[in-house]
Amino acid sequence: MNLRRILRPGLALLLSLQLMLSSSLTALAAPEWPSDTGIMADIGIVIDADSGAVLFGQGIHNQSPPASITKLLTALVVVENSSLDDMVTFSHDAVYNVESGSGNKKNIEEGDVLSVRDCLYLLLLQSSNQAANALAEHVAGSRDAFVEMMNEKVSELGCVDDTHFANPSGLNDDTQHVSAYDMALIAKAAFDNQQVYEIASTKSYKLPATINNPNGVTCTNEHRLIITEDETSELYYPAAKAGKTGYTSLAGNTLVTCAEEDGRCLISVILKGQPSPNYFLDGKNLLQFGFERFQNLSVPDNETRYVTGEESVAVNGTEYSPSDLEIEAGTVITIPKDASFQDAALELVTVLPDSHPDRAVALLQYTYNDRKIGQAYLLLKESAVPASSESTGTGEAESSSPDSGGSEAPGESGAGFSLPAPTLPAVAVSLLVLAAALIGAYTVYSRKKEAEDLRRRRERRMQRLREENYTEEEFFQLLNERKRLASEHGQSLSSAGRSGRRKKKASSEKHIEDVSKDFDSEEEQGPL
């Protein structure tokens, strides 16, 4: 049988399917991730505070001194470990043991007593280094002990770039450095704390009487994007709600800004910024870029693969009915404005972090062109009971993903078992399976047809032999003679037959030669 002849139609079909699939992939390719911010600073980042997605990053894992944006972490640690009504006494060391030239805003003096709340306003609005020192001593007993708490918090928040703090104020220290990515995580945690957010978003605050300010003194926010009310100013940006400025000789200008618009919250970080107003404009440009070029989509409103349908789903050895599962409320993914929810790739993670909710079954992690864009827990409803269980779900990670995915922002661990989902790669596999089935069917058909043709040729041969009064024995005697001649002279059966005909009588030989042609064809094609 001619294998090439059989496979040719199948190969043509495969080529057609490949072209169709390639065209489909091109037509359905997800839009590119925007990146045209044009910031002037060496280092900058903007993240979506709700999804955690990094919308833009430039040098985001490079280490740099943070300057006074450090005070956001200081405020967070203080609020989590003290009461706002606690009273703080300023020690000599807190007031005077500071870097030369760093100043003393609002003329705080040794022996001044302010509440933790007052100190936090002085810390975040006026960037007082004395307030940072006094709060550290109040919470931890010493600055060194407080710094340990700061670095423990950094680790707890999932910072990944060897970020390290050496003091609570952000003053110069060779061992103090942070990345834009880690600082964005710190800022998000700080602004997630309602008390820190409220203080960092306040434009002004009146302190009570102090030794050098017997009538009290007003602290004013130094973040120009927050306080500018002139609509004609290039620094006017009403979406900016909270933040912190910073500057030292080593750090240059640093800036953290939290902005809210249309129900979304973004955070930008600038390190090694250009002189004012440029670093403020960089922060503003990053935030505008994030709002204008991206959208948030609700995971519970769009994800149906695990919570709908009649067939049970298996997660880490346990069977669940989709009606018994729900997706964590309030969760979103962030994608370009011209993209859709289906453009996001999904991985289901079954090895969960220690902080997972009690009813968590798995974690849905979404990516877009290898960028993390959000996540949501898959939860067992409170009234639901698993259909069956083969394991406790605490063993080794099982991992697969219905779509390809990756990570822009590191720090999240765990691989996952993925429930079935209709995706484009699955369509490709289906097409290839269909092509293979068609080729197989065509091969079977071709073989049957060849067998039928051979049977008919043999019947015709026997009929013609009977018509000429020859037996099969006589026919095969002549055929064997031709094979012998072919072997001796290196000829084909047909050529040997022509040589043999010149040596034999014509009349009878012609009939047998005609009949033998069918057999020549059978021999050359090989056995069925």
Q: What is the mean pLDDT of the chain?
A: 82
Res. 412 pLDDT band, cuts 50 70 90:
very low
Q: What is the mean pLDDT of residues 74-89?
A: 98
What is the pTM for the complete model shown? 0.71
pLDDT in tens, 145-165: 999 999 999 999 999 999 999
CA dist 341 and 436 (Å) reads 32
Residue 63: count other Cβ atoms within 10 Å of its Cβ: 18
| Among candidate residues 410, 428, 429, the one with its CA nearest the CA of residue 370 | 410
Q: Given a cut of 90, is residue 385 above it in pLDDT?
A: no
- Residues annotated as catalytic are 68, 71, 127
277 upstream amide cis, omega within 30 of 0 = yes
Residue 262: count other Cβ atoms within 10 Å of its Cβ: 8
CB within 8 Å of 269: residues ≥ 6 apart? 43, 44, 45, 46, 69, 180, 183, 184, 187, 254, 255, 256
Residue percentage of the chain with pLDDT more than 70: 69
CATH code for the part of the protein at 43-296: 3.40.710.10
What is the signed CA dihedral for 173, 174, 175, 177, rounded to 10 degrees?
80
Q: Yes or no: say if 512 and 478 are a contact pair by the CB < 8 Å rule.
A: yes
**What residues does each domain of the chain span?**
43-296, 303-422, 427-525
The predicted structure's pLDDT at residue 314: 87
Res. 30 pLDDT band, cuts 50 70 90:
confident
pLDDT in tens, 415-430: 333 333 444 555 555 6
Q: What is the mean pLDDT of residues 380-391?
A: 65
Q: Given a cut of 60, is residue 47 above it in pLDDT?
A: yes
Of 14-23, 42-51, 96-105, which range is least confident? 14-23
Q: Given a cut of 70, is residue 169 above it in pLDDT?
A: yes
If DSSP codes are grouped into helix, strand and coil, which group holds residue 512? helix
Q: Given a cut of 50, is residue 442 above it in pLDDT?
A: yes
Residue percentage of the chain with pLDDT more than 90: 62
